[in-house]
Amino acid sequence: MKLLLINPNTSGAMTESIARVARSVALPGTEVLAVHPSFGPASIECQYDEAFAAAGVAEQVRRAEAWRPDAIVLACFGDPGLDAAREASGLPVIGVAEAAFHAASLVATSFSVVTTLTRTCITAERLLHRYGFERLCRGVHGTDIPVLDLEEPSEPLVQRIEQAARAALAKDRSGAIVLGCAGMATLCAELSARLQVPVIDGVSVAVKLAESLVSLGLSTSRLGDYASPPAKPYSGWASDLGWQP
Ligand code: 2AL
């Protein structure tokens, strides 16, 4: 199958490292095309960033149509543009936050999220409510690590995440850690070894869920609000991105 992996931020280095993780868990027959928007923020750390990132996701969904993907993974923990990507593509589209919450709920009775800037905790909490996981997540914890510091993680940075995770497990009395940034995907194996609890990287889970849905023949419903967008002209820099059947 062909899997389109969209990193909604514009960091080429992060796109590459996320793609390496995705390819390391993908089945031998899964081809991963990793892309990022042609415009927008280098990292997504606030709602202003997210507004541009969602448009960038829509852009990349349209640009990749010719490649004919079977499924799409959105590799940013805010899941920006998730609904738009489902509408526009009709394919299985998996956001890494939604994927990680599902996986965590299967391996522990409750979990904690460890993320980047403290301000993004509120975004993660909103997503937990939106997806219905607020009862299972016992805490969202910021580390105040800027997303771009994860491009080349140093040992002190890994230790900061490890310490935040240990504190979260103790304070929340939870059984698993969800990594609250796609840029943390490369650290999952190391943190799993150090923490000795399930550590969930949403990128890996999203790849496996996308493969599962494709193999089961399950795709986005076209009934209701995931129906194709109505065709209409778009203007300005988005003039070639309006949905045409
Ligand atoms: C993210 C992420 O996954 N990628 C990005 O640029 N920002 N999420 C986060 N909580 O910082």
Indicate if ligand 1 lies below 6 Å from the C-beta of 200.
no
Measure Cα distances from 229 to 58, 73, 86, 166, 225 in Å: 12, 20, 10, 45, 9
pLDDT at 244: 76
Q: How confident is residue 125, by pLDDT bands cut at 50, 70 and 90?
A: very high
Nearest residue to 177 (alpha-carbon basis) of 111, 131, 133: 111
User: From atom 10 of ligand 1, which residue's Cα is the shortest distance away?
Assistant: 181
Indicate if ligand 1 lies below 6 Å from the C-beta of 178.
no
- Catalogue all structural domains in the chain, each as residue range(s) with its CATH number: 2-95+204-238 (3.40.50.12500), 97-202 (3.40.50.12500)
Indicate if ligand 1 lies below 6 Å from the C-beta of 181.
yes
* Residue 184 alpha carbon to ligand 1 centre in Å: 9
pLDDT at 162: 98
Number of Cβ atoms within 10 Å of the Cβ of 243: 15
222 by Cβ neighbours in 10 Å (0-12 / 13-18 / 19+) ranks as exposed
User: From atom 7 of ligand 1, which residue's Cα is the shortest distance away?
Assistant: 44
Tens of pLDDT along 148-171? 999 999 999 999 999 999 999 999
* Residue 228 alpha carbon to ligand 1 centre in Å: 28
Tens of pLDDT along 84-108? 999 999 999 999 999 999 999 999 9
pLDDT at 243: 80
172 vs 243 pLDDT, higher one = 172
Indicate if ligand 1 lies below 6 Å from the C-beta of 9.
yes
Number of Cβ atoms within 10 Å of the Cβ of 235: 7
Q: How confident is residue 207, by pLDDT bands cut at 50, 70 and 90?
A: very high
Give pTM, 2 decimals.
0.97
- Residue 55 DSSP SS3: helix
Nearest residue to 44 (alpha-carbon basis) of 36, 52, 35: 52
* Residue 231 alpha carbon to ligand 1 centre in Å: 32
pLDDT at 245 over 70: no
6 DSSP β-pair partners: 35, 74
Q: Tokens standing for 151?
A: 């491009």
Q: Tokens standing for 70?
A: 């079977």
